[in-house]
Chains A and B, each alone.
Chain A
Amino acid sequence: ETGVTQTPRHLVMGMTNKKSLKCEQHLGHNAMYWYKQSAKKPLELMFVYSLEERVENNSVPSRFSPECPNSSHLFLHLHTLQPEDSALYLCASSQAQFNYGYTFGSGTRLTVV
Chain B
Amino acid sequence: KNEVEQSPQNLTAQEGEFITINCSYSVGISALHWLQQHPGGGIVSLFMLSSGKKKHGRLIATINIQEKHSSLHITASHPRDSAVYICAVKADKLIFGTGTRLQVFP
Contact among B4, B35, B93, B97 for A45, CB-based, below 8 A: B93
Please tell me the number of chain B residues within 8 Å of chain A, measured between CB atoms: 22
Residue ranges of A at the interface with B (Cβ–Cβ < 8 Å) = 2, 37, 40-43, 45, 48, 56, 88, 90, 92, 98, 100, 102-107, 109
B43 in the interface (beta carbon within 8 A) = yes
Q: Which residue of chain A is the closest to B90 with respect to CB atoms? A: A98
Contact among A42, A102, A106 for B45, CB-based, below 8 A: A102
Q: A105 contacts B33, CB within 8 Å?
A: no
- Bitwise, B26-53 to A at CB < 8 A (1) or not (0) is 0000000101000011111100100000
Q: Check A109/B86 contact, CB under 8 A, given A42-B96, A42-B98, A45-B93.
A: no
- Can you show 25 pairs from A to B with CB atoms below 8 A apart? A2-B42, A2-B44, A40-B98, A42-B4, A42-B95, A42-B96, A42-B98, A42-B99, A43-B88, A45-B94, A48-B93, A56-B93, A88-B41, A90-B41, A98-B92, A98-B93, A98-B94, A102-B33, A102-B45, A103-B45, A104-B45, A106-B41, A106-B42, A107-B42, A109-B41
Contact among B41, B95, B96, B98 for A107, CB-based, below 8 A: B41
Residue of B33, B88, B90, B94 with most partner-chain A CB within 10 A: B94
Q: B4 contacts A102, CB within 8 Å?
A: no
Q: B42 contacts A43, CB within 8 Å?
A: no
B2 in the interface (beta carbon within 8 A) = yes
Q: Smallest Cβ distance from A108 to chain B, in angstroms?
A: 8
Q: Which residues of chain B are near A92, meaning CB under 8 Å?
A: 43
Q: Which residues of chain B are near A102, meaning CB under 8 Å?
A: 33, 45, 48, 94
| Given A90-B41, A103-B45, 18 further pairs, Cβ under 8 A | A37-B41, A40-B98, A42-B95, A42-B96, A42-B99, A43-B86, A43-B96, A45-B93, A98-B90, A98-B92, A98-B93, A98-B94, A100-B48, A104-B35, A104-B45, A105-B42, A107-B42, A109-B41
Q: Smallest Cβ distance from A84 to chain B, in angstroms?
A: 18
Q: Smallest Cβ distance from B7 to chain A, in angstroms?
A: 14
